Amino acid sequence: MTDDVTPVVRGRGLVKRYGRVTAIDHADFDLMPGEILAVIGDNGAGKSSLIKAIAGAVQLDEGVIEIDGVPTRFRSPIEARNAGIETVYQNLALSPALSIADNMFLGREVYKSGFMGKYLRMLDKKHMRDFARAKLTELGLMTVQSINQAVETLSGGQRQGVAVARAAAFAKRFVIMDEPTAALGVKESRRVLELIKDVRDRGLPIVLISHNMPHVFEVADRIHIHRLGKRACVIRPGDFTMSDAVAIMTGAMQPPEAAAA
């Protein structure tokens, strides 16, 4: 990779042990500005531990993570979020009965200014609605009828869209997406992939965890292949086929030396 650019995330020698099991075994990790980095790996390869460590949900035993060149250690996902890192969880972490606008601001509500906000803690619903509408419109998601609609009345893809829009709206550094297309049909997956690219094109780097090879190969700029707790290599989707990627992932093929660094 180019050395003159500071990576958004740079992890070196990351180790996480659970008792005798080493989930992350001296793994490295790099996320470059403005890219979609897919992380693939067999079940149990340790990719979710790796991602959780970056998102602050798992505490590392060894290793250094630098965020924008600064060594950082998040003690909780909230700390990571406060630092501008948003995660789109596989279960979306949306509250189904609340409206789209409420969900966008869940846990970070905006209060009115002045007496009502200060002493009566009154929410600034109009601001939140307008903001939510603007963000959804930016991403071409205002196909939903109303911003006050409950999330449970949306289709799976639309819900995913709301979760992605929320992450994109509040992320300052990068977004982590965990299996964003796993629960979706073909058409909805397409729409979500478009969305992911839109978010990238707005300058937010994305870490994409996915099992779906066609999706990974379509949207990823680089692919981080995780195997046996460490980074086997990073490839560019143009240089390798999906079968190659799967072969490296499962150990059937040696990772290419040049790309491993």
Partner 1 sequence: MTDAPAAAGAASGPASGPGPASGRTPQDYETAASRESAVAAFDVKAKSPLDHFQHFLHANPTAAPIMVLALSVAVFAATANNFLTAFNLSLIIQQVTVIGLLGAAQTLIILTAGIDLSVAAIMVLSYMIMARLGVEGGAPDVVAVLIGLGAGLACGLFNGALVTRMRVVPVIVTAAATVALLTLAGLSVIWAAPVGILLGLAAGGAAMSGKLPAGPSMQFRLPPFIATLGAWSIFAALSLWYSGGQTVRSQSIDAEASLLKVFGLRVEILGAQFTYGSFLMVLVFAGLWYVLNWTGWGRAVYAIGDDKEAAELSGIRTDRVLLSVYAVSGTLCALAGWAAIGRVGSASPQSFAEGNLDAITAVVIGGTSLFGGRGAVFGTLFGALIVGVFRSGLSLSGFDPLWQSFAVGLLIIVAVALDQWIRRVSA
Residues numbered 134-153 forming contacts with partner 1, rule: CB under 8 A: 140-146, 149-150, 152-153
Query: Cα–Cα–Cα angle for 227, 212, 54, nearest 5°?
Result: 50
Q: Is 194 in the site for partner 1 (CB under 8 A)?
A: yes
Q: Are 151 and 159 in contact (CB under 8 A)?
A: yes
DSSP 163: H
> Which token pair is 169?
């709206």
- Pairwise CA distance, residues 251 & 39, whole Å: 16
- Length of the chain measured in residues: 261
Instruction: Choose, by CB under 8 A, the member of 1, 214, 252, 254 that binds partner 1.
Output: 214
97 or 252: whose CB is closer to partner 1? Answer: 97
Q: Does 69 bind partner 1 (CB under 8 A)?
A: no
Q: Is residue 218 a contact point for partner 1 (CB under 8 A)? A: yes
Q: Per-residue DSSP letters for 6-48?
A: PPSEEEEEEEEEETTEEEEEEEEEEE-TT-EEEEEE-TTSSHH
Looking only at residues 21 through 60 of this chain, which bind partner 1 when binding is defined by CB under 8 A? none
Reading phi first (left if > 0) and then psi (alpha if -120 to 50, else beta), residue 20 is in alpha
Min separation Cβ 233 and partner 1, Å: 17
> Toward partner 1, which CB reaches closer, 122 or 228?
122
Distance of closest approach, residue 141 Cβ to partner 1, in angstroms: 8
Contact (Cβ atoms closer than 8 angstroms) between residue 84 and residue 54: no
Give the binding range for partner 1 (CB under 8 A) out of 5-13, 18-26, 199-207, 234-242.
234-242
Shortest approach of partner 1 to residue 237 CB, angstroms? Answer: 5
Contact 235, 28 (CB under 8 A): no
Could you identify the residue written with the tokens 């149990």? 44
For partner 1, the closer CB: 63 or 74: 74
CA distance linking residue 4 with residue 25, whole number of Å: 27
x/- track of binding to partner 1 for residues 106-135 (CB under 8 A): xxxx-x--------xxxx-x----------
**Spatial contact of 77 and 55, defined as CB atoms under 8 Å apart:** yes
Determine which residue in the list 48, 49, 189, 210 makes contact with partner 1, applying CB under 8 A. Answer: 189
**Cβ-based nearer residue to partner 1, 20 or 186:** 186
The answer to whether 234 and 225 are in contact (CB under 8 A) is: yes
Nearer to partner 1, 122 or 183 (CB): 122
12 forms part of the interface with partner 1 (CB under 8 A): no
Task: List residues near partner 1 by CB under 8 A.
Answer: 77-78, 81, 87, 89, 91-98, 102, 105-109, 111, 120-123, 125, 140-146, 149-150, 152-155, 157-158, 161, 186-191, 194, 197, 214-215, 217-218, 220-221, 236-239, 241-242
